[in-house]
Amino acid sequence: MPKNSPLLLLTLFCIVLIPLLFFLRADMLLRPSLNDSCDPLRNALERSDNGEHIKPDSTLVLGANAAIRWRRPPDSVNGVALLIRGIAGLHPQQIGLCYARLIAHYHPQNVVILTDPRWADDRIDTMANALEGIVAARDSLGRSDRIFALSFLLTPANQQDDQRIQTQNVALNHVADASTGVEILDINDSLRGSGGNPAPRFFWPDGQTLNKAGYEYLSAAIENAISAAPMPPNELSSSHARPASNDNT
C-alpha cells in the first residue's frame, strides 16, 4: 500500500462526511419542534405562498411528507380549488396550536389533514388528541371549516403493525363522531391487494409513500367526502336566503 494511502483515505472521508453532517444539521434546524413558536411554520408557508394566487373557499390539504410528495395534484376537486401545503417535520399538535396561520389564514372551505407515517410511531392517542385540539382551535376562532383527516395508512412497510394502526384509526373515528364538521377519510380498503394486504403497486419502493396511483385514490376520496359532507351552517343559511328585492321592477 502506498505511504500516502492513509492520508488519501482521510481526505476522502472528510470530503464526504463534512458536507453530509452539515446537511443533516441544517435539516434539523429547518424542522420546527413542538417547543417553537409558529414563526418557523409561517416562514415555511410563506416560501410556498409567494407568487401564488390564493383563492379563498378552497380545499386546503395540509401535512408533512404526504403533502410534500403529492407532486401533481388536481387543480380542483368537485369544483373547489385545491391548495396543497406541506411542511417537513410538521407534528399534528402544531396544527391546532398554529391554526390561525396554518389554516385560517387561507380562509378555506374544507381542510384535509394528511397523516404522516411518523405520527403513527407516537402514543396511540397522540393523533386523536391533536385532532381534538384542531377542532377546538377552529371553534375558538369562530370558523366553520369542514375538517377531514386521513386515517393512518396501512402500507407494505408497516403491515406488521396492523393492529396498532387500526387502534389509532378507531381513536380518530371516536373524535370525529364527537365533533361537528369532522370526518375521517379511510382509503385503506382501496389500497389492498387480492390477498387483503396493502398492494405494493400503490406505493413507491420505500413501501410507505403513495405513488401516482395511490394519490388518485386519495383524490377520489377527498372528492367523495366533500360531495357527501353537509354544508356548514353559515353557508346553508346563505344558500337559502331570499333574493334581495329590486324596487325598480
Residue 43 one-letter amino acid: N
Tell me the residue length of the chain: 249
Architecture of the domain whose range is 38-229: 3-Layer(aba) Sandwich (3.40)
- Compute CA distances 33 → 48, 102, 149, whole Å: 20, 15, 22
Q: Is the pLDDT of residue 48 over 50?
A: yes
Domain boundaries, the chain: 38-229
Q: What is the pLDDT of residue 180?
A: 87
- Beta-bridged to residue 114, according to DSSP, are 63
Between CA 17 and CA 11 the distance in angstroms is 10
Q: What is the pLDDT of residue 75?
A: 93
Q: Is the pLDDT of residue 100 over 80?
A: yes
Max CA-CA distance within the chain? 101
Those residues whose C-beta lies under 8 Å from the C-beta of residue 94, and which sit 6 or more positions away, are 32, 34, 38, 41, 102
Q: Are 73 and 61 in contact (CB under 8 A)?
A: yes
- Higher-confidence position of 231 and 87: 87
Q: Looking at residues 152-163, what average pLDDT do you find?
A: 91
- Higher-confidence position of 10 and 215: 215
- How much is the mean pLDDT over the chain? 82
Q: What is the pLDDT of residue 244?
A: 35
For residues 156-167, one letter each, b for 16 or more C-beta atoms within 10 angstroms of the residue's C-beta and e for the rest, the string is bbbeebeeebee
At residue 141, φ and ψ (nearest 5 deg) are -90, 0
Percentage of residues in the chain having pLDDT higher than 90: 61
Q: pLDDT digit string (tens) for 158-197? A: 988 888 899 999 999 999 999 888 999 999 999 999 888 9
